[in-house]
Amino acid sequence: MAESAAVELFTDGACSGNPGPGGWAYLLRHPASGAERTDSGGEARTTNNRMELIAVVEGLSALSEATSVDLYSDSQYVLKGLDDWLANWKRNGWRTSAKKAVKNEDLWRRLDALAQEHDLRFHWVRGHSDHPENELCDRMAVEARKQFE
């Protein structure tokens, strides 16, 4: 993997109902230069977990080269999935320890491929706790969701 400057990726998802209309958002920051990029989107009928996953997939997809990424999320589902569960799911043919199909397998496969390209470090942030970047991503995700309500 090519060595390049580290970036910070802040993500969030929002859903009204589960399933229901949903939104995702990310903030990508290059601390050395202060450059930032944001994006958001949504779907008419989705789940909160899918929106959380899509936010990370979209954020990592925005990177043009392999890099070191500090990923900040309030989603234990995303962070534990990446850090703890993913290797076992792959080893078990995309089945959980209970032998059930992994939910959101399509997104987990995309995220797995993206995670192989980058050096990821995971940081959990408590949602709705005045964390500035998490609050920004939450607001953007909610706005994106509203277009489908």
51 alpha carbon, distance to own chain's centre = 8
Q: Whole-prediction pTM value?
A: 0.94
74 catalytic residue (yes or no): yes
pLDDT at 127: 82
Residues 6+ apart with CB under 8 A from 72: 8, 9, 10, 11, 123, 124, 125, 131, 133, 134
Which of 43, 74, 81, 133 does the annotation list as catalytic? 74
- Taking only the tens place, the pLDDT of each residue in 44-103 is 999 999 999 999 999 999 999 999 999 999 999 999 999 999 999 999 999 999 999 999
Q: How far apart are CA 97 and CA 48, in angstroms?
A: 22
13 catalytic residue (yes or no): yes
70 catalytic residue (yes or no): no
User: Is the Cβ–Cβ distance between 26 and 81 less than 8 Å?
Assistant: no
Which of 8, 58, 133, 138 does the annotation list as catalytic? 138
138 catalytic residue (yes or no): yes
52 catalytic residue (yes or no): yes
Sequence ranges of the domains in the chain: 7-146
Superfamily per CATH, domain 7-146 = Ribonuclease H-like superfamily/Ribonuclease H (3.30.420.10)
